[in-house]
Amino acid sequence: MRSDEELKKIALGIFKGEIFTSWNIRPEDQHLLPLIFMPLGFIKPEQIKELEEKKIVAVFEYLDKALPKTVNGYPIFMSCQLLTQEEAEKVIKYYNEIKKKVSDVVEEVEE
């Protein structure tokens, strides 16, 4: 389990557009997941079971690690990082907190 500080950094990276996640892939394009995050294309069946047991629910990587090519407009990565259900819930919580704080500041500036 990642620390709260690490999860906050991930949430901030997602907010700033520095991190691409499996959540960014449209539902109709989910079949492209192993082409976007290439290590997933090499997973053995027993490893899939292991990921399921660990409750992996999201994949992500920093966009500066993307290859210079794309697949259907999506970046391609030769590496990826995984989030468990518990980590993903915290990342979403931190992301929403960041979004709210930024929104509050924008409202103040616009007044």
What's residue 82's pLDDT? 97
Distances (CA, A) of 62 to 49, 50, 78, 100: 26, 24, 11, 23
DSSP string, 2-55: --HHHHHHHHHHHHTT-EEEGGGS-GGGGGGHHHHBGGGGG--HHHHHHHHHTT
Residue 48 belongs to domain spanning: 4-110
Q: CB count, 10 Å around CB of 90?
A: 19
Number of domain units in the chain: 1
Q: What is the mean pLDDT of residues 64-76?
A: 97
Q: Please say if the pLDDT value at position 103 is more than 90.
A: yes
Output b/e per residue, 20-51; b: 16+ Cβ within 10 A.
bbbeebeeeeeebbeebbbebeeeeeeeeeee
Q: Please say if the pLDDT value at position 111 is more than 80.
A: no
What's residue 110's pLDDT? 84
pTM surpassing 0.85?
yes
Rounded to the nearest angstrom, the gap between the alpha carbon of residue 79 and the centroid of all alpha carbons in its chain is: 12
